[in-house]
Amino acid sequence: MSPRTLFIEAAYVAASILFILGLRSLTVPDRARRGMQLAALGMLVAIVGTVVSHDIVRYEWILAGLALGTVIGYPLGVYVPMTAMPQRIAISHMFGAVAATLVGVAEYYALDQGEQVSRIQMAALGFEVLFGALTITGSFMAFSKLQGILPSRPVTFLGQNVVSIGMFAAAVALLAWLLFEPANPRAFYAMVALSLLFGVSLVLPIGGADMPVVISLLNSYAGLASSATGFAIGNNVLIIAGALDGASGFILSIIMSRAMNRSFTNVLFGAFGSAPKASARSAQGLTVHAITPEDAAIQLAFARLVIVVPGYGMAVAQAQHQVRELAALIERNGGTVLYAIHPVAGRMPGHMNVLLAEADVPYDKLKEMDEINDEFKNADVALVIGANDVVNPAARNDKSSPIYGMPILNVDEAKQVIVLKRSMNPGFAGIENELFYGENTAMLFGDAKASLSKLVQEVKGS
């Protein structure tokens, strides 16, 4: 082993260790930042290790790519608002998958269109472009839906599932064929095309409320594609980093689907809410109690325990700062304010925590569902801001409801529930929410941000 190879291998080992330490640091919030800086250092070490390699003979395209990537990546890191985090993450899965897929395609092409590709290498290249290609288009679709370029409701057509599964099956069959006969460029490129199409048809029928599962799953695929790249070019640090990413995305998607009481298959092929059946129980004959900001403010001003339940509506209205302001006033009056975060609140795992942390809410006040559910019965006011399905009691007691069995926040146990909502339109799943008609529920209609500002003024005045 020449000193240079030794240096490169040492750099890769160091990078792998730093990546693992970085992820480990995320188990403790106070150490997380430092740990991720170590991981970034690991990345730098790996890059330096690579550019001194003998394989690299010219640098102009490398420098051009690094420069262009920095120019695009820097603003994506610095200026993207926290409310746009789901689409920001979705598009970054696409970039990761583009890199992995192109390396795979170029590798195949450069090895005489597969002439020099061994069976094992073909397996690695095949998985790499299969996962990579479907992640490229799938992530792009997810991004478009979250960004509002495409409608976020499920887009379905007749026989969609058959078409989707057919395309995927065909792509896998082509991969199997390539294993026996690697030098078959037509099959290879057809496989790439099929998985690109499959990515589109996979995400198209998935609604906005299911995005946390989809983003997590795409995260996992992007990781597996990176890992497969490592197998294809014989590089362990890629295998390790990709496996970490793959495991992470996989775990998150399990947590997310469990929080919705649904299986992967159901999320992917169930087209949740595609037929917004007027649900089991219709709202007819039930009355809604509207409340004025003045009355709501009085309740909040004298409450001892207030539990805030944020949902996607808070993110859309960008109302997190007003929430914090209101909480500060309640706390000044001697009350306690806690935040109940449902695992699938928002459009990606942990979205609400980031928004509230941005508004300077201390993280020890952000409570997970299991931690806070028993507290609701002690709460004087539960303040629901733009959350719907995660507080719908139908999940507990209506067997015919599509969300039956989903673990929910026990908001209805609070002495008083105040729901901030734009109008009486049903939520994403198109399901009527009994909570809104409850005896102890009062509805404060209007834009969440405007309503909260009014509440802040009123509480200040009282």
Q: Within 13 A of 200's CA, how many CA atoms are on the CB side?
A: 8
Stretch that binds other proteins, among 62-70, 260-268, 403-411, 416-424 (CB under 8 A): 62-70
Q: Is 174 in the site for other proteins (CB under 8 A)?
A: no
Q: What is the dihedral of CA 88, 94, 96, 99, to 10 degrees?
A: -140
The site map against other proteins for 208-237 (x = CB under 8 A) is -------xx--x--xx-xxx-xxx-xxxxx
Kindly list the distances between the CA atom of residue 228 and the CA atoms of 130, 153, 219, 249, 387, in Å, as whole numbers in the listed order.
10, 33, 14, 16, 39
Smallest gap from Cβ 82 to other proteins, in A, equals 7
Q: Which of 364, 423, 425, 461 binds other proteins (CB under 8 A)?
A: 364
Q: Within 13 A of 328's CA, how many CA atoms are on the CB side?
A: 14
Q: Is 52 in the site for other proteins (CB under 8 A)?
A: no
Q: Is 287 in the site for other proteins (CB under 8 A)?
A: no
Looking at 245, 389, 398, 412, which residue is catalytic? 389
Smallest gap from Cβ 379 to other proteins, in A, equals 18
Stretch that binds other proteins, among 286-294, 299-307, 347-355, 435-443 (CB under 8 A): 347-355
Q: Is 172 in the site for other proteins (CB under 8 A)?
A: no
Q: Is 365 in the site for other proteins (CB under 8 A)?
A: yes
Stretch that binds other proteins, among 76-84, 299-307, 377-385, 409-417 (CB under 8 A): 76-84
The reply to whether 112 belongs to the active site is no
What is the full DSSP assignment across 100-151? Answer: HHHHHHHHHHHTGGGTT--HHHHHHHHHHHHHHHHHHHHHHHHHHHHHTSS-
Q: Which of 159, 285, 334, 362 binds other proteins (CB under 8 A)?
A: 362
Report residue 188 CA to chain centroid gap: 31
Q: Is 266 in the site for other proteins (CB under 8 A)?
A: no
Overall residue count recorded for the chain in this entry = 462
- Rounded CA gap, 242 and 232, in Å? 13
Q: Is 30 in the site for other proteins (CB under 8 A)?
A: yes
Q: Which of 358, 380, 413, 447 binds other proteins (CB under 8 A)?
A: 358
Nearest Cα neighbor of 131 from 234, 208, 245 is 245
- Rounded CA gap, 414 and 433, in Å? 16
- Rounded CA gap, 126 and 107, in Å? 11
Residue with tokens 């920095």: 70
Smallest gap from Cβ 104 to other proteins, in A, equals 9
Q: Which of residues 381-440 bind other proteins (CB under 8 A)?
A: none
Q: Is 48 in the site for other proteins (CB under 8 A)?
A: no
- Rounded CA gap, 101 and 189, in Å? 12
- Rounded CA gap, 392 and 411, in Å? 9
- Rounded CA gap, 306 and 161, in Å? 45
Q: Which of 87, 103, 129, 164 binds other proteins (CB under 8 A)?
A: 103
The dihedrals phi and psi of 28, each to the nearest 5 degrees, come to -125, 110
Q: Is 327 in the site for other proteins (CB under 8 A)?
A: no
Q: Is 335 in the site for other proteins (CB under 8 A)?
A: no
Q: Which of 203, 326, 341, 381 binds other proteins (CB under 8 A)?
A: 341
Number of residues interacting with other proteins: please give it, by CB under 8 A: 116
Q: Is 26 in the site for other proteins (CB under 8 A)?
A: yes
Q: Is 334 in the site for other proteins (CB under 8 A)?
A: no
Smallest gap from Cβ 233 to other proteins, in A, equals 5
- Rounded CA gap, 78 and 151, in Å? 27
Residue with tokens 């048809």: 201
Smallest gap from Cβ 363 to other proteins, in A, equals 5
Comparison of 183 and 243: residue with beta carbon closer to other proteins: 243
Which residues are part of the catalytic machinery?
A: 389
